[in-house]
Amino acid sequence: MFTLIVPNSINMRLDKYLSENLDHFSRSKIQHLINDGKVTINGEKEKSSYRLNGNESIVVYVDTDDKSTNNHVAQEIPLTIIHEDDDILLIDKQAGLVVHPGKGMNDNTLLNGLMYYTSSLSDINGPSRLGIVHRLDKDTSGIMVIAKTNSAHKYIAEQFEKRNVKKTYVSLTWGIWELSEGNIDRPIRRKRSDPTVFTVDTMGRSAFTSYKVENSWRYISKVQFKPKTGRTHQIRVHSSFMGHPIISDKKYGGGENRVKGFLPEVSKELNSILKIFNRQALHAYSIEFIHPKTKDNVKYISPLPNDFSDAINILNEKYG
């Protein structure tokens, strides 16, 4: 048996939600569990078509010998530990590392590395999300908080739902921003023509990001982002919407095509920056929340990785 706490403002069918969050189960397995009464919502059995509204508690009852509930293996994956105590673990996730197993990715994820590092991980969200309270995109680096106990998981997850967790990201974006700081309040939804891409849409879910330009070098700016909401690809979508896609973010217009049109010598210089990054230039710099046990306000920082430092050094040399 395990429990899933449905995020606030969710509007989704039960079977679809479970399919997206229980990737270790097939769709048919999920349907069987619901039909057999092994899934309850706030203690009540519901149909597959039941529509979730947010904040529900879903309990999934499975046999302890069901191999599909424990098919992930511990793997020795390098982890950079920022902080650890009995309740939480703060890690500096490297770019290129997927957070947890999903479709087409069964191992070599952060989850596999966490399972190798410690046996103390919350299991409130099932075996494919052990310890995972929140996520970062595969190619976004930086700070993540991991829950070692279910009580810590619930306490921190509640802060995320109430939007009390303060997150700061640092990015290199294309262009010079018109305003040195401001807010981007634009709803986001999945693009119908490509479900892997998100876009600003009035019919989407609310999304709010504040930004502050820290430095500019003629063609590129270093920007600090503070998302209030936590939509998928939110910073990448909002930055692109403002006309300043993130460096090397091909999905949202920040890749090599952005260099076309410049003079050859300028294109060469800008391409040298692009080559430093084999991922979008976005880094989760800090996270601040109330500690689940001490109840102190805590803040943890992940220093900028080498690709950022190398790019910034080049920009300072060329453009001051």
Catalytic residues: 137
Say if CB 198 and CB 233 are below 8 A apart: yes
Dist CA 195 CA 16 (whole Å): 15
| CA separation, residue 68 to residues 64, 72, 124 (Å) | 10, 9, 16
- The string of DSSP letters for 291-313 reads -TTT--EEEEE-PPPHHHHHHHH
| CA separation, residue 111 to residues 21, 202, 291 (Å) | 14, 35, 22
Contacts of 85 (CB under 8 A, 6+ apart): 293
| Cβ neighbours of 11 (radius 10 Å) | 10
DSSP 252: G
Helix (H) or strand (E) holding 33: helix 27-35
Q: 233: helix, coil or strand? A: coil
- Phi then psi dihedrals of residue 231, to 5 deg: -75, 155
